[in-house]
Chain A
Amino acid sequence: MNGQVNGSILMRHEVGLHARPSVKLTKLAKSFRSRIDLGLSPDGPWIDAKSIVKVMAAKAPRNTVLHFRAEGEDAGAAVEALVGLVERDFDDGD
């Protein structure tokens, strides 16, 4: 089972993909074995979602649609978890 799984989600977080959201996203991505890419458009360019430096450098602003592309044994769970994190606004309200 090594199919590619895709998912996308509108990011509403106030400050966009800044430091704290980037750290949360990267940490979550790293908890999966699959290769996971993040794109700011459906056609890429794609960056490694497990690279904190690259994710932060993407500087995605609020109201960007984030696209995830994962490949590997836990690709489905990975995309679901990442989309969920963005949907929950990076759990920032706590």
Chain B
Amino acid sequence: MNANVGIVIVSHSPDVARGTADMVRQMVGDEVPLAWCGGNPDGGLGTSVPDIMDAIGRAWSEAGVAVLVDLGGAETNSEMAIEMLDDERRGRVVLCNAPIVEGAVMAATEASAGSTLDEVRRTAEELKPA
């Protein structure tokens, strides 16, 4: 199976999350496990802990999963989702402190080369506004 680090994109807006995932697929390719979530069941903006946990499961890789988020609740809900994972998986999921779109592309590029979870996170976080 895929040994590359997986990427999860969590946005309040399903359109932003889906669009970011499209950019990753088109710019980097499909050698990286990728999942996204965003929006609430009524079609509005929001993020939910179960949806994030589900996305982490879909993008799961034994090498770990890097999570990219947008604002506030996306971050706290992602932290909560990571907390609620099995012991075995919890230590292999990291939240990246990086802009969601740029960070996702950078992280996926790094992950596509078979880099470790820590290298993937560092590459995403290395990005600074010009």
Contact = CB atoms under 8 A, between A and B. Distances in A.
B109 A23 contact: yes
B27 A52 contact: no
A30 B113 contact: yes
Interface string B48-79: 00000000000000000000000000000000
Nearest to A54: B126
B95 interface: no
Contacts of A30: 112-113
Given A23-B28, A51-B123, A53-B127, A31 B113 contact: yes
Interface residues of B, number: 13
A27 B126 CA distance: 17
B20 to A, nearest CB: 13
A26 B113 CA distance: 9
Give the secondary structure class of B's interface. helix
Interface of A: 19-20, 23, 26-27, 30-31, 50-53, 57
29 contacts: A19-B27, A19-B105, A20-B27, A23-B27, A23-B28, A23-B105, A23-B109, A26-B109, A27-B28, A27-B29, A27-B109, A27-B112, A27-B113, A30-B112, A30-B113, A31-B113, A50-B113, A51-B123, A51-B126, A52-B105, A52-B106, A52-B109, A52-B110, A52-B123, A53-B106, A53-B123, A53-B126, A53-B127, A57-B130
